[in-house]
Amino acid sequence: MVASIPRLFVDAPLAAGAEIAATEAQAHYLVHVLRRAADSPLLLFNGQDGEFHARLLHAARGKARIGVEAQTRLQIAEPDLWLVFALLKRDATDLVVQKATELGAAALLPVITRHTNAERTNPARLTAIATEAAEQCERLSVPVLHAPQKLPELLAAWPAGRRIFAAVERRAAPAAPARHAGPAALLIGPEGGFAPAELDALHAHPLVTQMSLGPRILRAETAAIAGLALLLAAGAGTPDPS
């Protein structure tokens, strides 16, 4: 059985002939978890320069040097689709971050709502989860993780030109659009749904379109996965031809 080639996200420029230092965690992973020796092949990406074939040059005492070889994939434009989600309990938030990364969300924006049952995150943990998911699913970037903010503050500072599709429950709302191009975001509320005042604020916001995910009441993490898949299938986040 042929072993798969590990993929690593690196925070360094990539070009043929370059030599970069792995982080201590990456060195430990390569040497002690995967049992890779010198000259083992790797794949590297940094979200800017595409993907490169590389080799482990040297590893000892928690340090590793990697030699960059030929480019294997060009950097391509990815959908400009954000996920805005009410913070959940730790395991559910971890799942949302992992699956949103796999689906291709460009940015992850946690929000605090009236019914949010958690108000803090561990940025290092969530970044590690997103990075590992990007490495495993073979995407060429890691989504940007934003600090949590309250929903009214997020709506007040929302950038012009980016449509928000808000998944709402128990309201007469249209289904996901069959086609939508241009920058977009999916907004998922907490377990228990949005408070009435929050629904009123969403209804009044000029860039918010309320959207139904079907007749059933979905768990928040399920709604995030389903909503992203529907919007990506509709072309959300792709350039608007007009």
Domain ranges of the chain: 7-73, 81-233
Residue 237 has φ and ψ, to the nearest 5°, of: 90, -10
Residue 151 and residue 86: Cα distance in Å, rounded? 9
pTM: 0.92
Kindly report the CATH number that applies to the domain delimited by 81-233.
Answer: 3.40.1280.10
| pLDDT tens, the chain, 242 aa long | 345 899 999 999 999 999 999 999 999 999 888 888 889 999 999 999 999 999 999 888 778 999 999 999 999 999 999 999 999 999 999 999 999 999 999 999 999 999 887 777 899 999 999 999 999 999 999 999 999 999 999 999 999 999 999 998 766 777 788 888 899 999 999 988 899 999 999 999 999 999 999 888 889 999 999 999 999 999 998 987 76
Equal fold, 7-73 vs 81-233:
no
**Short-list 221, 157, 148, CA closest to 188:** 221
Phi, psi of 93 (to 5 degrees): -65, -40
- Second CATH level (architecture) for the domain 7-73: Beta Barrel (2.40)
- The DSSP element (H or E) to which 84 belongs, if any, is strand 81-86
